[in-house]
Structure 1
Amino acid sequence: MSHSQHRRALALVATVGAAAGLALTGAAPAHADDRPVITLQQTAPVAVSPATLTGVSPTAMPYLSFTTTASSLSANATLTIDVTQLSAIANVTFSDNCTVVRHVASCWEMFFYDDLSGVGSIGAVTQMTVRAKADAPAGASADYTVSGTADNAVIVGGTGTVDIGGPAYDQAQPKNLTGVAVGSTATEPVRFTNIGDRPADGTQALLWASPGIGFARHFANCRYSGEGDPRRAALALCDIPGEVLPGEKAALAPAVRLDVESTAYYTYLDTMIAPAGDPGIQQSIAGRQWTQGTGGQLTLRILTPGTPTDAPSGTVSLSQRGAHGDYRITSLQAANTADFSVTGATATAAQGDTVTLDLAMTNNGPATIFDRSGETRSADIQLPPGTTPVSSSANCSQQGATSYHCTNGDIVSPAGEVSHFSLTLHVDEVIPAAQGSISMDWGPSGHPAYDPDPANDTSPITLN
């Protein structure tokens, strides 16, 4: 899996920030202070090899994305990308929206967005593809610059970097486990091979333990974050010294050991192994608070020695392709249950009155449910006859004239969590013992295996 792919996969379990490697330059001219500013985000350096390597992409694609001060944008823009310096060691091609003259690309862009509140970045149509020249020496590096103009905005650009050659840690897939006993300790070996053309001076291992599992050992050369939070993954970031040569196969020693906690059900170990200083690691750890571990050292055990080379060591990983990649997700499903229940309501109201119903959905545990697919836990509500809906809590939405759908809004449902819903109804007609209901909505897959008691999945709503 490539670095761009692994950043998308971790959106659920880790905060992604800006990587080192781009020095922003330029400022809005004084006469344009009232115009919105569109700023190129710091872009990670990329590496590309002149050699034909198994599992390694022959090209690299720097990713251009932007931030803005505006809540909305309506701007036609031209990006200017100067690859004159880079052209000495690499061939660069651009997407069809660009015209290239003497290694300078002029690329047409449209920035039209209505609502940018809470949006972290906006992408560009422009793409550049870099391929190393056959005679480019390993360890060479060159920059390219990005600038731009727009009719209704100010563009702030910057400088990116491309390296020739690099290490590439191809991680083996650890074994998925099922039926893991609560209270046990699971072991997951983490192995990788440097399939790149340059050595690395050291290794960083970034491990995510999803809610329900925790790290059984804490090492002095590792830092830890997020432990004890039932909604977030616990992270371990480990710095392991020692050169890793091309072709070398190694394993974390000792293997990763994970405590299977009382709240475990759907759990995952995410692992990323990269050369020390790799920008992909840096992006994944931005914004985290860390605590240094104590006791013992996490090391590398060499399984197959590598091949010595005159190439200098590198920190920027080559992009991998196909089934190769430095990032893996391993599932460890525990033998556990999580009993969800719903609570209805009883109320009395006269004709013409309004009445508010307080309803609930509860995870009675013992397991926390983490649905990595993005599904939340939800309930369906049928209104009692003789009523008309007036309003609802923000976590409910009307699905029809007499029904609502309510959700806890989170892919993590901790054991003991109570999700509260409310509906306000107008009583059009008094019907004795008018009955509606609240029911768990399990979706197309039906009642899940982890819920042991379907009898409490439905509860009545009784009016008058």
Structure 2
Amino acid sequence: MATAGAAAGLALTGVAPAHADDQPVITLRQTAPVAVSPATLAGVSTTTSPYLSFTTTASSLSANVTLTVDVTQLSAIADVTFSDNCTVVEHVASCWEMFFYDNLDGVGSIGALTQMTIKAKAGAPAGASADYTVSGTADNAVVVGGTGTVDIGGPAYDQTQPTDLTGVAVGSAVTEPVRFTNRGDRPADGTQALLWASPGIGFARHFANCRYSGEGDPREAALALCDIPGEVLPGEKAALAPAVRLNVESTAYTTYLDSMIAPAGDPGIAQSVAGRAWTQGTGGQLTLKTLTPGTPTDAPAGTVSLSQRGTHGDYRITSIQAANTADFSVTGATATAAAGDDVTLDLAMTNNGPATIFDRSGDTRIATVHLPPGTTPVSASANCHPQGATSYSCSNGDIVSPAGEVSHFSLTVHVDEVIPAAQGSISMNWGPSGRPAYDPDPADDTAPITLN
């Protein structure tokens, strides 16, 4: 199975030989630098594992690949172990991979079976850094490798979970604090904060040291990327100042503030915002307020975050529930056709608002269609699927249902027998949980489908 997604930061070193123009090229994706601490720190993992993945020029692959991972330089400051598909001789691992994939067009990357686990050697100095190299050969492909980097020690921003809010009034503004503790063993020379506001909320202030983006995924109403100067010492607890202020808009129902906080230069945030267009803010400065001072250290500042474990992490999701409603309705159809004819029934589901519905659990809005008697189904639009011989389930197709959205469905049926005023129906299907609180009106949940 091909896996979409990628990491960042690996310098490519391989070059496809000229005689291999007719062979597919398998290229190691840029891999983020990683960091690991030699100390035992609360909430911080004692190991780290770079993620190896590949892209290819081919639409399908059938290749046996041998990856060679050389950790000779890295072995001076860290111990490295490999997955069972590897054989290691004097810090060089030979790892077999079987890349057998079809339909790779549009796939972002192919995950490797090979895994490496890195643990810092006792006494390795904070700030030390070393590289490892990846190369490869294949029976009928060209493999382009690269070089990755491992740092010893680093900052680790452990963000406190902000408070979820319920019953918030539409038209009001709410405040969400973003607080974190540097659980790492190195300071950070600056901080980056990335904030996502989902549909229904918006940022009340636009700071001069933040950039803002409103394009992209419909699950994101706005993003803010803020660069905040100032050293953050190990053990320091800090908060964004002022706290994040959000406007609760007329379309709000269940909304979310996603927040990621990291040392300046950390590759994780760069990955999350690659390719976006930004507009600089103009109002005041977003700063850090020290809540608990940290401990001074001779260790140099780090830019690569240490991996955290358990409930600790730099990413949080905060739910903001507005007191609002969204009335979903369905539209039926009326048609006339003779026996032996095919006829198309055009149906619809509408979110009459005022709220946009964002179901982060992954559920979409569904309508159930029962065909009129005397007919058999011929075809359906892509968003409708059969549920038995004479019924269909039709979905609006996205976990976000904007206020005012109309989802169109069509079903073509063959008229086997003319039955005067043959009656079918389209109805909202709220699933096993029943009618949601946001739609208290059942009057427009069902509409007739009348044939002849």
TM-score by length of 2: 0.97
- Measure how far apart 1:223 and its partner are: 0.2
Equivalent residue, structure 2, for 1:22:
10
Name whichever of 226-235 and 280-289 sits farther off. 226-235
What letter corresponds to residue 295 of structure 1 in structure 2? G
Conserved 8 A contact 2:6-2:29: no
Aligned match for 1:217, one of 205, 218, 223: 205
Equivalent residue, structure 2, for 1:98:
86
Equivalent residue, structure 1, for 2:417:
429
* 1:160 is the counterpart of 2:135: no
Unpaired runs of at least 5, structure 2: none
Aligned match for 2:133, one of 145, 150, 167: 145
Deviation per residue, 1:296-318 (Å, 9 max, x gap):
00000011111110000000000
What does 1:97-116 correspond to in 2, within 5 Å? Answer: 97-116=85-104
- Which whole-Å CA distance do the structure 2 matches of 1:36 and 1:228 have between them? 32
Q: 1:139 to 1:229 in 2, by over 3 A?
A: closer
- Which whole-Å CA distance do the structure 2 matches of 1:201 and 1:228 have between them? 30
Q: 1:39 to 1:311 in 2, by over 3 A?
A: same
Unpaired runs of at least 5, structure 1: 1-7
Aligned with 2:189: secondary structure? strand
- Which whole-Å CA distance do the structure 1 matches of 2:215 and 2:383 have between them? 28
Aligned match for 1:238, one of 226, 243, 253: 226
Identity %: 88
Conserved 8 A contact 2:350-2:407: yes
* 1:272 is the counterpart of 2:260: yes
Equivalent residue, structure 1, for 2:391:
403
- Measure how far apart 1:233 and its partner are: 3.4
- Which whole-Å CA distance do the structure 1 matches of 2:147 and 2:432 have between them? 49
What letter corresponds to residue 135 of structure 2 in structure 1? S
Equivalent residue, structure 1, for 2:247:
259
Aligned match for 2:295, one of 290, 307, 311: 307
What does 1:31-50 correspond to in 2, within 5 Å? Answer: 31-50=19-38
- Which whole-Å CA distance do the structure 2 matches of 1:266 and 1:67 have between them? 37
Aligned positions, number: 450
Alpha-carbon RMSD: 1.5
Name whichever of 269-278 and 222-231 sits farther off. 222-231
Deviation per residue, 1:173-202 (Å, 9 max, x gap):
000001111000010011111010000000
Conserved 8 A contact 2:64-2:139: yes
Equivalent residue, structure 2, for 1:75:
63
Equivalent residue, structure 2, for 1:4:
none
Deviation per residue, 1:186-223 (Å, 9 max, x gap):
10011111010000000000000011100000000000
Aligned with 1:178: secondary structure? strand
- Which whole-Å CA distance do the structure 1 matches of 2:259 and 2:40 have between them? 27
Q: 1:419 to 1:337 in 2, by over 3 A?
A: same
Deviation per residue, 1:223-250 (Å, 9 max, x gap):
0001798653310000000000001110
Conserved 8 A contact 1:17-1:285: no
- Measure how far apart 1:39 and its partner are: 1.2
Q: 1:278 to 1:33 in 2, by over 3 A?
A: same
- Which whole-Å CA distance do the structure 2 matches of 1:384 and 1:312 have between them? 74
- Measure how far apart 1:420 and its partner are: 0.6
Aligned match for 1:297, one of 285, 297, 312: 285
- Which whole-Å CA distance do the structure 2 matches of 1:244 and 1:127 have between them? 32
What letter corresponds to residue 209 of structure 1 in structure 2? A
Aligned with 2:324: secondary structure? coil
Conserved 8 A contact 1:18-1:286: no
